[in-house]
Amino acid sequence: MTREEKAVIIDELSEKFKAIPYFYIVDATGMTVGETNNLRRKCFTQGVEYRVFKNTLIAKALETLDTDYTPFNDSVLKGFSGIMFHPESGKAAAKLIKEFRKESGNDKLKLKGASVEYSLFIGADQLDTLLTLKSKQELIGEIIGLLQSPAKNVVSALQSSGGKLAGILKTLSEREG
């Protein structure tokens, strides 16, 4: 591969990292051709882009970004590295990895590291953490729900109190009459 070809790949990869804030770096060492094809098929059907790159090209592309990805250099960018991108969800790739491992009955597909909204997750033990992450839209929805609930409680209390007050006034006016 010439320097020009490498430069094109680095530029393409750094643009992808800038455009998509969710990516997972996985190790698929030891997988058969059939298992790899099955993984690629699953990725395609679930909207996850899966590509394999050299670690040096990944590292150089990550260096062009504003976020500090140097923690990836020690453990994540070693050995075989495939990258999974999903444009909308931080946990789509985590679900796919877990589902693939369950269906294949082996742990050949390993999570090495992930970046979700520029937060770093390093190591295979982070997979369950990544599965429980909530998306930005889910968090905004929860906050709006929490902010609305006190107002709803006040309104319903006023409405129920108003009904009780009207009932009491009606009862008192009937007694006097």
Tens of pLDDT, residues 46-104: 888 999 989 899 999 989 888 888 888 888 888 888 999 988 877 888 888 888 888 88
Q: Residues 139, 120: contact at Cβ < 8 Å? A: no
Does the structure show a pLDDT above 60 at 10? yes
Q: Residues 30, 108: contact at Cβ < 8 Å? A: yes
Mean pLDDT, the chain, rounded, equals 83
Could you list the beta-strand ranges (E) of the chain.
22-27, 49-52, 82-85, 110-116, 119-122
pTM score, whole prediction: 0.73
For the chain, percent of residues with pLDDT exceeding 90: 10
Does the structure show a pLDDT above 80 at 108? yes
Confidence band, pLDDT 50/70/90 cuts, at residue 44: very high
Q: Which residue shows structure tokens 């430069």? A: 7
Does the structure show a pLDDT above 70 at 151? no
Task: State how beta strands 119-122 and 22-27 pair.
Answer: unpaired
pLDDT at 83: 92
Tens of pLDDT, residues 13-30: 989 988 888 899 999 888
Contacts of residue 171, defined as CB under 8 A and 6 or more positions apart, other chains included, come to none
User: How many Å separate Cα 155 from the centre of its chain?
Assistant: 37
Does the structure show a pLDDT above 70 at 124? yes
Could you list the beta-strand ranges (E) of 17-118.
22-27, 49-52, 82-85, 110-116
